[in-house]
Structures are given as structure tokens and as C-alpha cells.
Structure 1
């Protein structure tokens, strides 16, 4: 007896239908419209270029370290061109620089003692350029100030400028021989220890000690 074939089971999955034209139109309608193009930048005011010209003159004065003139020009930008807000931020930045520099000049040391003290603070703070500037002013005013010249040797030694350091040290020793003994054990002159010129400068010349003892005996004999 022949077997009967069973009918194949029908799939229960729904067939995917292509989207209708109506569905596509609805999807397009749901998408947001593209953003509008950016508005063109407003034209520059004529006062803007005038303000920039004054601002640039202020920067030129600042570069020349004419801080009062620079501050006056920059303040005029704020006062005469209040509508130029985007320029004001830069103006205020450089105004602060002028005020800081002007305050430093007002408190700058004037006397020899003040400059020596300022140079000492600068060396202790590692600001050797500033120390050298103070000490040169002292040297110009008092060329035989051995303390200032010795400190110049220290400042140049800390900057690894051996030739300048040794030259100042030799001069300081000539002006005051006690600087020779001071230099031998001065840790601030440590960068010069291996320099032959430095060793020659701090080595006592022949007869130096005996001459000093002889002079002491002579004074005591009197």
C-alpha cells in the first residue's frame, strides 16, 4: 500500500513587504529640516580700526618699557571706544602688565645698600640676571666696592660663566685680600672648583702669610 505524502507545513512568518510610497513620504516628513546657513558677520564699525590703531600704539610703548605711556594709551581705548568689547579683554590684559611693571619700578632699590640687599635676595632666589643688574649699578657708582664685585663673581659662577666669575673674584681679592680666604670655602663658588684660574686666584701668593704675621708683630711691638 502506497504511503500518502504529508503536505509541507506552511510558514507562519509574515512576508516582508516593501515600504509603500506613503510610508516613505511620512518618513521624509518626520526628518528635521536642514539648519539655515549662518548669518553673515556684521560689518566692522569704523571706530574699530581707530581703536586698534590706538591699541597697537600702546603695545609699541609697552615693548619700549614706557609703561606710563602704554597704560595711558590702553586706558584711552577703554574710555573712548566702549563699544569695542572684543578688544577690551586684550587691553585689560596688557594694562595689568603695565601696572605690575610700574609698581616694580616705583619700589626699585635706589641706594647702594638697597641694591646690595636686593642682589642678595635675587641670588638666594636663583634670579642671577636680576642680581647682576643690581650689582652692576653698585659697581658703576662705587667701582671699589669689593662686596659687590665679589657677589658678581658668585652670580656669574652660578650661571657657569667661569671667565667672568674669576675676573670679578680676582678684582675683589685685589680690593680686599680677605676675599681670598672667603672664596676658598664659599659653596656659592663650587662651580669654579675645577677651574685652574680659580685655583690660582684663591691660592695665597708666596710670602702672603709671613708678611701678614710680620705686620702683626710690628704693630704689637709698637
Structure 2
């Protein structure tokens, strides 16, 4: 077969320089590491973090904590986050207006309020609620146990021993709770306390 006199030209591979490659990637919608870093706005990140913290408190019904967080989001650069924070603020204001202070009526409610006051170090208010709970439910071992703990925290050793002994009589399991309860640290050196919590020990201390 007769070959043509024209030689077939070899196809050369086109080399693309680095700047052109970057432009090509951007044209295709891809981002280099440098472009991704430049898009991140620290102010937006902080605003989003504050918003998420506010939402977490909102779902836990901690409206007093969530409100200032959402108010802080309003001053951020992200309009969408600010709009969403504004919606949450309206809901919080409505719920806080509707919420009224709960007046304890049952033994359990007085007990819970008493324990809450104990945790805040408000001893007089704690004692008031626990006494009311005990009056309504004199055989409630958990109320008597809480009274013993309160007596111990306020340095009333004799009353603490009496209440703890009664709490154990009402419910023997309270003996084991008291062994690891830090509220009774005041009685740790009292031999009566040891005898009450460890009745099976002999005089040798074993």
C-alpha cells in the first residue's frame, strides 16, 4: 500500500501552568485549601457557637441562661442566625411571662424545695420546707434522712444522730447511703455514728 508523503504529526500534551490550574479549579467550582480558609469568618463561627449554646439551654428550659446568649447573637454579622435567635427570644419571653413560681404543697414538693435550698446553702429555708414535708409525711424516710443531713451540715450533732437513727429504722438501706454521704462528714469522728452505720463491727474495730 502506498503511504502518503505527509507524516502524521504527534499529538503534544498541553502543559498547564500553576496559575492556570488554580483558575481552572475555581471555574469548576472546586476550592483550594487557601480559598477554603479565606471563606471562614471567625465572627460567624463565634456567632454560631453562641447560638448553639443558646439552643442547648433553650431545650433544657433554662431560659434565663439562653436569653442573653440569643441577645448576643443579634449583634453578630450573620443575618440568618440573628433572625433565628430573634424567634427564640420571642418564645422565651412568652414562656417566662407565663411561668409562675411554684408553691410547694405536697411532701415531695417541700422535700425537693428543701434539698434545693440545702444545695444553695440557705439552711433556714431548707429547714422550713423539710419540717413542712415531715409534718405532712412523718414516716417518709427520705425526708427524715434529709433532716439528718441538714442537722449535720449546720453542726447539730445530737439532732443529726436522732434523725439518722430514725431514717435507718424507717428504711435500713439508709445506713449504706450514709456511709458514703459527704454531708455526714461532721460526724465521722463520733463513735455513735460509727456504731450506727457499722453495727456488725466488734469492739476491736475490725
**Which range, TM-score by smaller chain?**
0.3 to 0.5
Question: Of the two, which has the highest radius of gyration?
Answer: 1
Q: TM-score scaled by structure 2? A: 0.47
Q: TM-score scaled by structure 1? A: 0.43
